[in-house]
Structure formats: structure tokens, C-alpha cells
């Protein structure tokens, strides 16, 4: 039995019910059976399920495209093929931004995407991906897992017949790629930039125009002049799409997605049809995909940034303090207004802000001051 992706404990949890069932039927008698015993095979085949996962990511795309496949492989390996999830890239079964509706209605069994794409359904969804000046990757993980976020998310998505789980995080995202210098707030006026979610609303209030495009549409939009700039993810994914060729000015930090959480949404009828052990192993697989993705992005972004600088001559720029402070003020207004949209969104907003404020002091005291001290000590 393969154990490459998930803790052995998850596998034990997944198979334990079957062991207990056998012992219960046979009393205290112990039955030893080789895993290749042909008498065991029909039971496995009989219970096999094939499920379809639609995603918002281009086919074979680094990082984002790997997350759902990593999850699928983990589930397949733990169950020895009993649960077989086929992953579809954006456009193969449904469009990149149609995953939610497909899963809700049962046209697909599950999706892997970013929840802020569904803010048209409810503004509360944005809080489960990222909001401007919001929580970092580890902070949002903490809120969802330990601060009451998961229960609120279950309630929200349950209204649309979906069970949600964290299943990826890209970490802090950069400010984006621009065709012109961004030296002052005036430079945002008239700017056409690809930026979804609440970050896009901040851009509008600064006088720009925010455009929502899927990843596969961005490069052509830059090339044609339909947009002047784009944010996407970070150096690793940005390098893969070659944005530096069309918009060579790279700015940081990103205010809009300080820790972008990605998710799996499972059709609730499918979720409820699974056994307790299968639901548990899916949670373990999703958590493994979540944790692994953050580690992967941290390392691969560092390597890709070096490539952009050393091979393609990209020298990152930084938004001024004036720009960032003003963006922060506008972002707070936007997030607060979104949070008051309706009763359910207000509940999510209140919980999110409480968690963010609780985490801020520790994050700034720990990571923030340490990073400044490391830079002072090591230079650069």
C-alpha cells in the first residue's frame, strides 16, 4: 500500500472501520489475509467510486494545477484506488469560473478554485480566499481551523449544496506587472488591471478599472492592450506565463492577497454519501495539499525570482509608503462595507476581523521584527 502523501494515521482511519467490521462478524477469530488475495479484490472493486473534479487552473500549470492532482493522488493511494478522482483543467469540462455552479448542481462532483470568484453569490466568500490588508497564509489557516472559520464556511457553502475545505495556499502575492511606472496614487487613475475580488474594488476607488480574467486569458489581454497591468500569483507562476515580456515593471508588495487560500468544494450530496472514514481521509488529503502547497510556493517563488532577476533582467520595484498607507485606508472601507452586506456576511466578517486583530500583534512581534532584524544582520 502506498503512503507517499498522507500520514499513515489517515490511512489507518480510512481502513480501520473495515477491520473492525470483519472482526465483529467473525467474533474473536483472527483472519489473516494477504492484500493480493483474490477474495479481497471483488469487495474493493464493488465499492469503487469515480468522481470528477473541475478546476479554475490551466492544464499542467505549476503549483495551482498541481494542487488538485496532488489531492487526487493522495486519495487514490490511501484507498488503493477505491476513490478515483479525475481532475479536469479549466475549459475541459466547464469554464474556469463555472466550477462552483457545476458542483452545486451536481454537473461535477467537486471543484478546486478560489472562493472569491463566487462573491457574486455572496460577498462572504471573499473572506475564505483573501481580502485586502487581511490575514497572511498561516493566519487564515489558523482562523479556519481553530477560530471558527470552518463552521461559518460550512454554513455559507451549504446554502449552495457544497462542502468546502482548505486545499492550497500560494502565500503572499506580489503587487503585479505594469506597463508603466507606479510612483504615486495618480498613476492608478485610468489604470486597467486584472484583479479579482475585493482588491479589484480598491483599484476602482483609486480611479482605476479592475478586470476579472482567468489565468489563461491574462497574457493575451496584456498583449492586445485590453489591460495595462495584472496581478496573478507570484514569481513562480508569473514566470510560467511570461508576463515580463508584455509588462516588464514588477511591483511589490501585494496588498490584495496577503495569503491566498484555495479550496476544494464537494457537492454536498456526494459528501453526505461518503462513509465517516472516507470523509476523514478526504479532510486529511486536503490538509496535506494545503500545507504542501505553502511550502512549495515559498521555495519555488524564491527560485523563480532569482531567474527573473538574473536571466530576464527584472528588477522588482516597491510601492511607496504613501501608496500603501492610502490603499490600506481604502481597503478597510471596502472590506467593512462588504462585510455589512447581509446578516451571514456580517457574521463571517466579524469573525474574520476578530481573528486578524488577534493574530496581528503576534505576527508583527514574531515574524515581522525577526525579518527586519535578519535583514539588518545579513544585509541586502
380 residues of the chain, pLDDT tens digit each: 443 433 333 333 333 333 233 223 333 333 333 333 433 344 445 689 999 999 999 888 899 999 999 999 999 999 999 999 999 999 999 999 999 999 999 999 999 999 999 999 999 999 999 999 999 999 999 999 999 999 999 999 999 999 999 999 999 999 999 999 999 999 999 999 999 878 999 999 999 999 988 888 999 999 999 999 999 999 999 999 999 999 999 999 999 999 999 999 999 999 999 999 999 999 999 999 999 999 999 999 999 999 999 999 999 999 999 999 999 999 999 999 999 999 999 999 999 999 999 999 999 999 999 999 999 999 87
Triad 337, 350, 282: Cα angle to 5°: 110
- Dist CA 305 CA 74 (whole Å): 30
- Is residue 273 exposed (0-12), middle (13-18) or buried (19+ Cβ within 10 Å)? exposed
pLDDT of 93 reads 97
What's the CA angle centered on 177, arms 172 and 180, to 5 degrees?
A: 140
| Amino acid 216: pLDDT | 83
Q: Whose grid coordinates read 473492525?
A: 20
Distances, alpha carbon 183 to alpha carbons 187, 245, 259, 317, in Å: 7, 21, 25, 10
Query: How far is residue 115 from each of residues 118, 165, 356, measured CA to CA in Å?
Result: 6, 11, 18
**What is the rounded CA–CA span in Å between residue 232 and residue 304?**
14
Q: Are 171 and 137 in contact (CB under 8 A)?
A: yes
Query: What is the pTM (predicted TM-score) of this model?
Result: 0.84
Pairing outcome for strands 192-194 and 229-230: parallel
Q: Among candidates 298, 353, 327, which has minimal Cα distance to 134?
A: 353
**What is the helix (H) or strand (E) element at residue 232, kind and residue range?**
none
Cite the beta strand spans of 21-106 per DSSP E: 49-55, 83-88
Report whether 339 contacts 201 (CB < 8 A).
no
Given this model, what pLDDT does residue 47 score? 81
Confidence at residue 45, expressed as pLDDT on a 0 to 100 scale: 54
User: Which residue in 143, 169, 138 sits closest to 234, CA to CA?
Assistant: 169
Pairing of strands 83-88, 49-55: parallel
Closest C-alpha to 287, from 3, 6, 2? 6
CA–CA gap between residue 129 and residue 140 (Å, rounded): 9
Amino acid at each position: 500500500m502506498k503512503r507517499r502523501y498522507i500520514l499513515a494515521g489517515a490511512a489507518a482511519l480510512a481502513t480501520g472501520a473495515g477491520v473492525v467490521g470483519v472482526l465483529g462478524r467473525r467474533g474473536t477469530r483472527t483472519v489473516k489475509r494477504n492484500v493480493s488475495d483474490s477474495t479481497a479484490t471483488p469487495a474493493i472493486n464493488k465499492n469503487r467510486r469515480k468522481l470528477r473534479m473541475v478546476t479554475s487552473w490551466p492544464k499542467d500549470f505549476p503549483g495551482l494545477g498541481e494542487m488538485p492532482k496532488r489531492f487526487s493522488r493522495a486519495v487514490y493511494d490511501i484507498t488503493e484506488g477505491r476513490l478515483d478522482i479525475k481532475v479536469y483543467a479549466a475549459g475541459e469540462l466547464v469554464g474556469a469560473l463555472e466550477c462552483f455552479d457545476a458542483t452545486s448542481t451536481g454537473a461535477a462532483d467537486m471543484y478546486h478554485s478560489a472562493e472569491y470568484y463566487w462573491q457574486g453569490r455572496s460577498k462572504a466568500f471573499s473572506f475564505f480566499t483573501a481580502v485586502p490588508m487581511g490575514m497572511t497564509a498561516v493566519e487564515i489557516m489558523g482562523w479556519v481551523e481553530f477560530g471558527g472559520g470552518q463552521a461559518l464556511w460550512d454554513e455559507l457553502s451549504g446554502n449552495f449544496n457544497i462542502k468546502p475545505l482548505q486545499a492550497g495556499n500560494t502565500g503572499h502575492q506580489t503587487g503585479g506587472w505594469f506597463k508603466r511606472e507606479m510612483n504615486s496614487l495618480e498613476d492608478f487613475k485610468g489604470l486597467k488591471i486584472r484583479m479579482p475580488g475585493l482588491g479589484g474594488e480598491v483599484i476602482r476607488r483609486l480611479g482605476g478599472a479592475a478586470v476579472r480574467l482567468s489565468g489563461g486569458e491574462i497574457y493575451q489581454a496584456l498583449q492586445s492592450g485590453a489591460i495595462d497591468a495584472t496581478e496573478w500569483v507570484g514569481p513562480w507562476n508569473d514566470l510560467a506565463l511570461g508576463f515580463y515580456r508584455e509588462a516588464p515593471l514588477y511591483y511589490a508588495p501585494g496588498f490584495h492577497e496577503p495569503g491566498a487560500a484555495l479550496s476544494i468544494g464537494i457537492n454536498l450530496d456526494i459528501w453526505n454519501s461518503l462513509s465517516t472514514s472516507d470523509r476523514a481521509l478526504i479532510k486529511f488529503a486536503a490538509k496535506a495539499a494545503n500545507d504542501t502547497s505553502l511550502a512549495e510556493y515559498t521555495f519555488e517563488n524564491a527560485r523563480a525570482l532569482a531567474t527573473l532577476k538574473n536571466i530576464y533582467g527584472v528588477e522588482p520595484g516597491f510601492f511607496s509608503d504613501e501608496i500603501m498607507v492610502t490603499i490600506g485606508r481604502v481597503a478597510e472601507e471596502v472590506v467593512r462595507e462588504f462585510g455589512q452586506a447581509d446578516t451571514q456576511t456580517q457574521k463571517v466578517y466579524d469573525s474574520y476581523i476578530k481573528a486578524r486583530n488577534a493574530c496581528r500583534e503576534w505576527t508583527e512581534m514574531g515574524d515581522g521584527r525577526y525579518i527586519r532584524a535578519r535583514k539588518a544582520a545579513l544585509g541586502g
